[in-house]
Structure 1
C-alpha cells in the first residue's frame, strides 16, 4: 500500500495520541480504527487485525514504564490477568469469523451507561488501592472472562470497561488499574496477533508504522502516570472526556452541532 507523506503524519500522530489515551483511559482504538478504515481504506477484519500490532507494542512499553515506577504488581493481579486472557482467546476466535458491526451498534449505548457510572460518585475513582476485601470468585471470574472476550472480539472500549471493573469492584486505584489493564491487554494481544496473522488479517507495513507512534505515546504516558502524584485525578478527567467524545461520535452528535 502506497501512503502519502500527509497520511504518514496523520497515522503517526494519530497513533501516538491513541497510545496515550489507551494507556491512561481507553478507547484509543476509536482513533486507530478510524484511520485504518476511513483514511487508508482497509476492510473491517483486516483493520481489526492490523490495529492489534500497535496495541501490543504500546502495551509492552507501558507495562515496562508502570513496572519500573512500582505500579504493576503481577502476583497481586494474577487472577484478573489469567481469566481476562482466557476470555480473550474465545473473543478473537469469534472475531476472525464474524462481523462485529452488529456489536458496534450496541457499543454506543454501553458508552452512555459507562458515562453515568463514571460521573456518579466520582470520588470512587480517585481513591487509592484497597485490596483488603477479597472479591467473590463467582462474580469476579465471569467478569474477567467477559472483559477478555470483549477485548479479543473488538478491543474498542475494552480499557474503559476494564477500568470500571478494577476500580469499582476490585477496588484498585485508577493508576494501578491502568497498569494491570496495559499488561493484560498486551499479553492477550500477543495471542490475538498470532491468530489474526494465521488468518492473513494483518497489514504489517501499516501496523508497524502505527506501532511506532502508539509505543511512544504509551510509554511516556505510563511513565508520567507512575510518577505524578495527581495522576488519578487526570486519568479520571481523561476517562470522562474519552467517553463523552465517543458518545458524540457514535451518535453523530457532531453533525447536529455543526
Structure 2
C-alpha cells in the first residue's frame, strides 16, 4: 500500500462515515474504492465491514453521550437482523466475483434512483414495543440479510421501514440505524474473518476516517435541519463510481 492509497482510504472514510450516519450510501464509496485499490471483490466486501463496525461504534457512543436512549428497542429490532446478516454473509462468500460486481453496479444504480425520490413529510411519533409487529421483525430480517450480503445502501431500507412504515422521526431513525447496523455487522464480519476475506491494514485506515466522519455526522444530526445536501454529494460520487465500474 502506498502513502497515496493510505491517505485516500482515510479521506474517503471520513466522507463515507459522515454519509452513513446522516443518510445512506457510504459503502457505495468505500467498497468500490477497495476494489479499485486491487482487492478482490469478496475481500473488499469483508474488509469494508471493519470500517462499518468501528464507525457505527463511534456513532452509537456519540449518540448516547448526546442523550439518545433507544438501546432496548434497537436490540429487539437487531435480533432478526443478526439472523439475516449471518445468512447474507454466507451467501456473499459463495457468489463469483463477476456476479458480485454485477450486483454491486445494479444496487448502486437502484439506490441512486431511490435517493432521488422526494422524502414525504409524515406525522411522526415515538416507537414503542407495541408497534413492533411481525411485519417489522420480518423487515429487519430482510435488511440484515441484505446488509450481510453487500451492505451498500442499507440505510435507504432503514428509512423505508423506520420512517415510512413506523413513522419515526428521521433524526431518531439515524440513532436506531447505527445501533442495529453495529449489532448485525459484528457476526457478519466474523464470518468474513473466518474465511480469510479481510485485509486489516486497509480496513483500519478506512475505519480511522469513517469514525471521524461518523463523529462529525452525529453533531449535524442533532441540529434542527441536519444535512440535506449530503444526498446530492453522495449521488454525484455514485454516478462517477458506476461509470468507473462499467468502463474499467
TM-score (norm 2): 0.87
49, 56, 59: which one pairs with 1:59? 56
My pick for the range that moved more, 69-78 or 100-109, is: 100-109
Q: Quote the residue 2:230 is aligned against.
A: 238
Q: Quote the residue 1:206 is aligned against.
A: 202
Please say if residues 111 and 247 of structure 1, whose CA atoms lie closer than 8 Å, have aligned partners that are also in contact. no
Whether 1:49 and 2:46 are equivalent positions in the alignment is yes
C-alpha distance in 2, partners of 1:144/1:246?
A: 28
Number of aligned pairs? Answer: 242
TM-score (norm 1): 0.84
Question: Structure 1 stretches (4+) deviating beyond 6 angstroms?
Answer: none
Question: How far did 1:88 drift?
Answer: 1.0
RMSD: 2.5
Q: Quote the residue 1:21 is aligned against.
A: 19
Please say if residues 9 and 206 of structure 2, whose CA atoms lie closer than 8 Å, have aligned partners that are also in contact. yes
My pick for the range that moved more, 3-12 or 19-28, is: 3-12
Query: Please, which runs of 5 or more residues in structure 1 have no aligned partner?
Result: none
C-alpha distance in 2, partners of 1:86/1:21?
A: 26
User: Any idea what the Cα deviations from partners look like across 1:170-225, whole Å, max 9, x if unmatched?
Assistant: 11111111111111111111111211110000011111111111111112211332
Question: How far did 1:111 drift?
Answer: 2.3
Please say if residues 18 and 210 of structure 2, whose CA atoms lie closer than 8 Å, have aligned partners that are also in contact. yes
Alignment of 1:85-164 (within 5 A): 85-99=82-96, 100-108=100-108, 110-111=110-111, 114-115=114-115, 118-119=117-118, 121=120, 123-124=121-122, 128-131=124-127, 134-135=130-131, 137-164=133-160
C-alpha distance in 1, partners of 2:150/2:213?
A: 21
User: Any idea what the Cα deviations from partners look like across 1:26-76, whole Å, max 9, x if unmatched?
Assistant: 1111111122111x2100000001111011000000001111112341123
Instruction: Flag the 1:7–1:220 CA change in 2: closer, same or farther, 3 A.
Output: same
